[in-house]
């Protein structure tokens, strides 16, 4: 199915009563001429309501999220699902919806003279910093990277340094001249928050980060990236300009030469104290708190002899209903002519939300040994906030549910191709393959089973709590995180088949005498870095729903390096630079090792023919 040309989404204000009336009647409107609307009609009704311009993109904490939550609450009530909380279906959680620097400053004292530095282009809080004023001596700790022993790679920027009660200066990113495996390993531990945590653990008072003259974005103060954590990092942290860092080093040292000394990643190159200067650093950071809302309900166990209420085991089925609003938070892939357009998120994730509603419809009259908890999460796009808030309460004495035996998630399930359905996190329980095979007998999907439970969706929050999880997914596409992810592009017949297999899996979990067992799965990649460590932008859109040898592209971002290199959807990347690509993990590893603006030879397969091209990665801002 080909998307129609991009169109700008301009929502028209709806009077409140009219808006609620539309929400309440949209799904049932198909029944006006047919007493029994089809499954496709019901699914289409849900998606068209949730992905309407009037929802303003369902950004967590906004009026659009509230409208969507009201719609879902009404649907649960109509299905006979009870509120999980005594005060209704909505379950609030607090998050940081924004932060701003309200006047950070630095005073440097040298030879009895004070110099003051202020202004966002000179010194600015890092978004995860604590607020406060600290003073002390300076230590330059290179790139501020400490690789854990478990990585079997000896690199520690602090090996010869005493930073207790000192203020640490570190370079942003990772050593520029490192190559191959060393470069990839260092990149994984180079995220700013990870560096701040390391300095704090070693007793530093504060962290100053500078973008070196040999790095991308040379000398620039780091932007205040969006950070949804309510609390700070436990340390005062700021970014300073290259010019200010040079001022702190003094006339006897060149920042460029200092950086060059660390850039070959030689683990024996030591940091040093910056003698003769002390600083007073003040960071003033104001975090704006907002509330998001999950929508939670329950169909209690009803089988003879089943426990009832808080004593009952439960199975949770869920999907996130939030999306990106108008795409201002940094996750949008909107093109230049789509700026400020509503991101309707029909596939991401109105499709999964609709699937859960119809699974509940199919199960409401079935016998259940366990409670069926129905969860619509908000805050997924901001970092799994809603699901994490729920999971964090599971061990509380007043937890809203009994022991959770399994969690089944639906995220982007409306754009299936070639009868393929990806089922992820299968490695989290040895029971999953058998349950899936049985559930699929009469549905007939070509299932793509993927063991990895470390996923960028809500199931990951449950996996961290050692709960068996599954995630259903039909694959990425060129409308992902763009305003063009619209309701008319959903394949409602195939979405109905996702409902069929999902309902059979959940029914099996509700009826089994024994709860399924959790199976630990070792991460395939070391964790620790963040998006800042993967600096290279290539413009590729991987197809996660297909098992092939290599990296299958579902598309490329318009105007990105991949498109400029001649790559397109359907190509399978089999070699990226020196790295052979067998799967998505190989590709991510290879991205760690590339250098900005340096061409990379890419080998790929198109229509059975092996080809090659040259791709030049760009820097992320």
What pLDDT does 408 receive? Answer: 98
E strand or H helix at 123: strand 123-125
169, 204 contact by CB (below 8 A): no
What pLDDT does 476 receive? Answer: 84
322, 18 contact by CB (below 8 A): no
Task: Please give the average per-residue pLDDT across 145-159, as a whole number.
Answer: 84
- Quote the CA–CA distance of 575 and 605 in Å, as a whole number: 10
Question: How does strand 600-606 pair with strand 609-615?
Answer: antiparallel
The token pair at 166 is: 């000192």
Residue with tokens 């653990």: 201
Task: Please give the average per-residue pLDDT across 29-34, as a whole number.
Answer: 44
Identify any residues that bridge with 496 across adjacent strands, giving them in sequence order: none
Least confident of 17-26, 200-209, 369-378: 17-26
Task: Please give the average per-residue pLDDT across 252-278, as a whole number.
Answer: 95
366, 87 contact by CB (below 8 A): no
What pLDDT does 621 receive? Answer: 59
Q: Which of 525, 516, 512, 513 is nearest to 470 (CA)?
A: 516
pLDDT band at 454 (very low <50, low <70, confident <90, very high): confident
**Global pTM?**
0.77
Q: Which of 568, 432, 443, 534 is nearest to 497 (CA)?
A: 443
- The total of other beta-carbon atoms located within 10 Å of residue 117's CB is 19
What pLDDT does 395 receive? Answer: 87
All domains in the chain, ordered by first residue: 16-94+289-511 (3.40.630.10), 103-283 (3.50.30.30), 536-619 (2.30.42.10)
What pLDDT does 486 receive? Answer: 98
414, 495 contact by CB (below 8 A): yes
What pLDDT does 150 receive? Answer: 60
> Secondary structure of the chain: what % helix, strand, coil (to 5)?
30, 25, 45
Taking only the tens place, the pLDDT of each residue in 3-17 is 222 232 333 333 333
pLDDT band at 525 (very low <50, low <70, confident <90, very high): very low
What pLDDT does 332 receive? Answer: 85
């Amino acid at each position: 199915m080909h998307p129609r040309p991009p169109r700008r989404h301009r929502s028209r204000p709806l009077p409140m009563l009219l808006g609620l009336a539309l929400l309440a009647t949209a799904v049932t409107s198909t029944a006006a001429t047919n007493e029994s609307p089809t499954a496709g009609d019901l699914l289409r009704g849900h998606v068209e309501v949730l992905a309407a311009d009037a929802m303003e993109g369902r950004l967590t904490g906004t009026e659009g999220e509230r409208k969507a939550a009201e719609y879902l609450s009404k649907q649960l009530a109509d299905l006979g699902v009870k509120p999980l909380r005594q005060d209704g279906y909505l379950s609030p959680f607090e998050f940081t919806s924004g932060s701003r620097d309200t006047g950070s400053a630095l005073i440097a004292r040298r030879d009895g003279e004070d110099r003051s530095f202020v202004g966002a282009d000179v010194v600015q809080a890092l978004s995860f910093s604590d607020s406060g004023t600290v003073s002390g001596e300076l230590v330059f700790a290179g790139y501020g990277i400490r690789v854990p022993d478990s990585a079997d790679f000896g690199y520690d920027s602090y090996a010869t340094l005493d930073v207790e009660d000192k203020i640490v200066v570190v370079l942003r990113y990772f050593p520029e001249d490192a190559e191959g495996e060393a470069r990839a390993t260092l990149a994984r531990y180079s995220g700013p928050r990870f560096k701040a945590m390391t300095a704090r653990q070693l007793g530093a008072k504060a962290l100053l980060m500078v973008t070196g003259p040999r790095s991308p974005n040379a000398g620039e103060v780091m932007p205040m990236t969006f950070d949804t954590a309510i609390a700070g990092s436990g340390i005062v942290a700021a970014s300073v300009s290259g010019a200010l860092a040079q001022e702190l080093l003094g006339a006897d040292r060149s920042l460029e030469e200092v950086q060059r000394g660390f850039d070959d990643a030689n683990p024996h190159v030591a940091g040093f104290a910056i003698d003769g200067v002390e600083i007073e650093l003040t960071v003033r950071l104001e975090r704006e708190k907002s509330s998001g809302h999950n929508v939670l309900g329950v169909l209690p166990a009803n089988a003879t002899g089943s426990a009832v209420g808080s004593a009952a085991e439960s199975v949770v089925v869920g999907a996130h209903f939030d999306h990106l609003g108008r795409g201002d938070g940094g996750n949008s892939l909107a093109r230049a002519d789509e700026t400020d357009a509503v991101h309707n998120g029909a596939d991401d994730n109105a499709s999964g939300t609709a699937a859960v509603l119809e699974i509940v419809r199919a199960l409401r009259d079935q016998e259940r040994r366990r409670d069926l908890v129905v969860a619509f999460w908000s805050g997924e796009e901001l970092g799994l906030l809603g699901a994490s808030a729920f999971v964090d309460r599971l061990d509380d004495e007043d937890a809203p549910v009994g022991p959770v035996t399994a969690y089944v998630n639906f995220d982007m399930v409306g754009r299936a191709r070639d009868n393929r359905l990806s089922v992820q996190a299968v490695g989290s329980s040895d029971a999953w393959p058998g349950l899936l095979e049985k559930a699929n007998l009469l549905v007939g999907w070509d299932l793509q089973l993927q063991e990895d439970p470390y996923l960028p969706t809500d199931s990951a929050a449950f996996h961290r709590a050692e709960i068996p999880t599954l995630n259903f997914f039909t694959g990425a596409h060129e409308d992902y995180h763009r305003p063009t992810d619209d309701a008319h592009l959903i394949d409602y017949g195939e979405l109905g088949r996702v409902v069929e297999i999902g309902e059979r899996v959940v029914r099996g979990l509700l009826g089994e005498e024994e709860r399924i067992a959790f199976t630990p799965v070792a991460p395939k990649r070391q964790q620790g870095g963040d998006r800042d460590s993967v600096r290279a932008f290539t413009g590729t859109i991987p197809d996660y729903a297909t098992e092939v040898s290599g990296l299958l592209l579902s598309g490329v971002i318009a105007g990105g390096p991949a498109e400029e290199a001649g790559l397109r959807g359907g190509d399978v990347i089999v070699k990226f630079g020196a790295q052979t690509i067998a799967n998505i993990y190989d590709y991510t590893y290879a991205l760690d090792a590339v250098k900005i603006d340096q061409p990379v030879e890419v080998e790929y397969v198109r229509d059975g023919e092996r080809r090659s091209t040259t791709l030049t990665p760009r820097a992320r801002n």
